[in-house]
């Protein structure tokens, strides 16, 4: 009866709660980063992107399975959005660099190899700074340390 009818919701609740309390890198990737992206995307396009998981848990009329489905949809849309933006930036940078290099008479291959290595090093350094501060902390500890603002934490780490 009731147990069978609610089994899917109970399973979804367990999945949600497990996803909210993972320490270290996995916690950052599965909880902190999605919270940051949810906050930014929801502010930019609230009709397209839902609020973060905590705001959705406080809404009446949405099931745990509904929250999981919506967050998966939002994550897919965020991935597509980030991919399109990065692709556009990369295309614009490539065209600009080729024009500048042809004007200077420098080989594009040499410069592009160096630029790729420099970009990868900068991204790795940024990720290391974030992860070094949160390595042995549970997600709740990270939020408490930074006054509850995940976006503020990422901005602080970036400085």
Check pLDDT > 60 for residue 147. Answer: no
Cα distance between residue 5 and residue 65, in whole Å: 13
Q: Note the pLDDT of residue 83.
A: 94
Q: What is the pLDDT of residues 39-96, one digit of tens each?
A: 999 999 999 999 988 889 888 888 888 988 998 999 999 999 999 999 999 999 989 9
Whether 50 contacts 74, CB under 8 Å: yes
- Better-predicted residue by pLDDT, 33 or 3: 33
Residue-wise pLDDT for 55-66, tens only, equals 898 888 888 889
pTM beyond cutoff 0.85: no
The pLDDT of residue 24: 79
Task: Please say if the pLDDT value at position 144 is more than 70.
Answer: no
């Amino acid at each position: 009866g009731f147990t069978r009818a609610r089994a899917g919701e109970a399973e979804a609740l367990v999945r949600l709660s497990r996803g909210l309390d993972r320490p270290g890198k996995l916690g950052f990737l599965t909880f902190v980063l999605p919270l940051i992206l949810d906050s930014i995307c929801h502010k930019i396009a609230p009709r397209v992107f839902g609020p973060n998981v905590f705001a959705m848990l406080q809404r009446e009329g949405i099931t745990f399975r509904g929250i999981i489905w919506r967050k998966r949809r939002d994550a897919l849309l965020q991935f597509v959005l980030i991919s399109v933006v990065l692709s556009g930036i990369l295309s614009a940078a490539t065209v600009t660099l080729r024009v500048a290099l042809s004007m200077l008479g420098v080989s594009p291959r040499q410069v592009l190899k160096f630029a790729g290595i420099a970009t990868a090093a900068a991204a790795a350094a940024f990720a290391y700074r974030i992860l070094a501060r949160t390595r042995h902390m549970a997600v709740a500890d990270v939020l408490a340390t930074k006054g509850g603002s995940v976006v503020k934490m990422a901005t602080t780490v970036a400085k």
